[in-house]
Amino acid sequence: MRSHPIAAAAAAALLCAALTSCSPEEEEAAAQPQTGAAAPPDTEADESGSPTEQSPDQTPEESPEEAPGRPVGWAGEPLERDGEEHPGAVGGAEGETVTASDAEELADHLAAEEPLTVEVAGRIDLDGAVRVGSDKTLVGVEEGAELTGGRLVVDGASNVILSNLRVEADGTAVSVRGGAHHVWVDGSTFSGGGDDPLVSVTGGADHVTLSWNHFADAESALAVGGGEEEPGALRVTVHHNYFDGTAGRHPRARFAEHVHVFNNYFRANEEYGVESADDSNVLVEGNYFEGTRVSVSTAEEEPGNVVTRDNLLVDSEQPDLLGEVDDPPYAYEMDDTARVPDVVSAGAGVS
């Protein structure tokens, strides 16, 4: 099972503090992510291409897996905004580490001006919306750490990491909006939601990555873009997520500049997998669709552009698509599509 690097690093630090004998070399070794996967399933599928292999000119140094704790995809890409250069998301890595055990303490830490890594202790009832400020890492490191009764809102903030969190929501669990950028949602488990998407990325948000998350027990998983969006934003990467029985929006993209959906596991999605609408540009590759009624589609009235390649379809339909979509500017490494169910189901969600 894939270990989540941020949670692993935090757990290693706690262990070192308890033993008072960890050397810097031991801390670094404890924080390294572990990878591995079972053999590919023996099943027949419809292919929209053959599995992609690593580019011959991609050296080991370029592999994203060589940089634990760093996001793959748009959240790791630099962005110039208002004359200032913003590097990839590192969250609160440059600040202290604190612990939150109730909603008030959590809200105070997340609203602080300085960079912080905030560890969730136990079960916290959010009792509404809790805003996440810039330069923050929010991570669950204890068994049983859980957020309920509300949602996390990243509104206009930048450089935010949400990792290894279990969130049970009545509506949207995480809302990224208001021009927020460099937000990485990783290794978390989301459930509930009602008719609302468990995660929404709207309001000109940009440079967002969602990776290794488990979405379950919800009608809607992920929405990218809303009804009134300005062009040039909503660049989002969605990789190695497990969409487990959620009905639709994995994601539904509207007015999105670029959405890259790769190596996700779609299972028993009764409406559709991915939809491109309102001139969005969506690249869907190396995903495994199993029992998804329609794998990838474009909106009928206001379609978007979408390109599919190297996906595997099992009991899933694929309608005709339209448009062209550019490849993303960042380096990324693809898993063999046939192995995606085992790799993702073993590694997605809270570790």
Query: pLDDT tens for residues 228-252?
Result: 899 999 999 999 999 999 999 999 9
SS (H, E, C) 249-281: CCCEEECCCEEEEECCEEECCCCCCEEEECCCE
What's the confidence (pLDDT) of residue 195? 84
Strand partners, 103: none
What's the confidence (pLDDT) of residue 3? 60
8 A C-beta contact, residue 276 and residue 295? no
- What domains sit in the chain, N to C, each tagged with a CATH number? 78-347 (2.160.20.10)
* Residue among 77, 91, 87, 75 at smallest CA distance from 9: 91
What's the confidence (pLDDT) of residue 5? 60
- State what percent of residues in the chain have pLDDT above 90: 72
What's the confidence (pLDDT) of residue 8? 57
- Is pTM beyond 0.95? Reply is no
What's the confidence (pLDDT) of residue 32? 39
- Rounded CA-CA distance 52/50 in Å is 6
Other CB atoms within a 10 A radius of the CB of residue 330 amount to 18
User: Is the pLDDT assigned to residue 166 strictly greater than 60?
Assistant: yes
User: Is the pLDDT assigned to residue 45 strictly greater than 80?
Assistant: no
User: Is the pLDDT assigned to residue 22 strictly greater than 70?
Assistant: no
Q: Residue 121, exposed/middle/buried by CB under 10 A (0-12, 13-18, 19+)?
A: middle
What's the confidence (pLDDT) of residue 26? 41
* Residue among 137, 161, 164, 144 at smallest CA distance from 351: 164
Cα-Cα end-to-end distance for the chain: 8
What's the confidence (pLDDT) of residue 235? 98
* Residue among 203, 244, 242, 245 at smallest CA distance from 224: 203
- State what percent of residues in the chain have pLDDT above 70: 81
Arithmetic mean of pLDDT, 140-154: 92
Write down the mean pLDDT value for the chain. Answer: 85
**How confident is residue 336, by pLDDT bands cut at 50, 70 and 90?**
very high
8 A C-beta contact, residue 163 and residue 187? yes
3-class DSSP state of 93:
coil
Mean pLDDT check: name the lowest of 54-63, 72-81, 198-207, 299-308.
54-63
Arithmetic mean of pLDDT, 61-89: 79
**How confident is residue 81, by pLDDT bands cut at 50, 70 and 90?**
confident
Whether residue 251 is preceded by a cis peptide bond, meaning omega within 30 degrees of 0, is yes
Give 93-139 pLDDT, tens digit per residue. 999 999 999 999 999 999 999 999 999 999 999 989 999 999 999 99
Helices (H), 153-312: none
- Rounded CA-CA distance 16/5 in Å is 16
User: Is the pLDDT assigned to residue 347 strictly greater than 80?
Assistant: yes
- Rounded CA-CA distance 145/164 in Å is 9
Phi first, then psi, for residue 216 (nearest 5°) are: -150, 165
Alpha-carbon separation of residue 244 from 27, 69, 250, 261, 268 (angstroms): 34, 25, 11, 16, 7
- Rounded CA-CA distance 215/235 in Å is 21
